[in-house]
Structure 1
Amino acid sequence: MQYQYKFEKILSIKEKEKNDAFSKYSEALRQFEEAAEKLYKLLKKKEELHEFQQQRLGNGMSVQDIRHHQLFMENLENIISHNQKAVIDARHKMNVFQEKLMETNMEVRKYEKIKENDLKKFIDHNKYLENIQMDEISIQQYLAGADR
């Protein structure tokens, strides 16, 4: 007798859902990393520009250069603010997909555990039937030997 798991189709559907959730999570993670890297570079650029401005102020700088630099820094601040929001959104999206992945992974594990227990019952039942057959064969052999 061959083992047939009664929830095999459900298990395969759940595994497909898990794989889909994993790919979505991986993509969200990649997007988060890209957004965070972009924000890091912008913050680093701001820091370098600030240091550059401090050095130039120490050496003397025209009012026009100061205004130009200040306008550039304000624009950079706006870009940084926008990117901070993008990082927060990407992190939230990543966390949502991570939770979905964890849920689907737990569901797959439940069905795998059910399959494991069901297979164990199947094997135990086959052993029981095999033992009954062996007992019957032994009884028949005994009776056949007693008739001689």
Structure 2
Amino acid sequence: MQLFLYLAINGGIGYLIATKIGRNRQIGFNNSLFFSLTLTFVVGLIITLLSNKSSSDIPKKSLSRKILGALFIVFGLTLLILFVLESFDPSRFSPNLSPQAAIIYIGIAGYGYYLLRRSKGIRFDNMDQMV
């Protein structure tokens, strides 16, 4: 029930963020919604607001974004693997394990993937119409 409530609140507010702000920025609707769902709507809002507006130029290729993206992917996937291993070990099972943590770890890895794609100079605001 808690997971459903968490996803419903994040989903509703995240959808508003993606619709009202994300569509008008280079991050696009899909990425804005993904970050709002997985990293909470507050972090999704911050990432969306830090993205350039659609009217600005095409982003330049960036080695630092590429490196940072790879680090986020490794960090997020490592946390996710540790979470899964701990949840299947009955001798070390912690009642503090929550599905929200796994969702956040997926969001961290997803942000790394976004940074890797962004490091190639790709804009995502016009990809929403391609779906």
Same fold (TM > 0.5): no
Structure whose CA Rg is larger? 1
Higher helix share: 1
Q: TM-score, normalised by structure 2?
A: 0.38
Q: TM-score, normalised by structure 1?
A: 0.34
Q: Which has the higher contact order (CA 8 A, sep 6+)?
A: 1
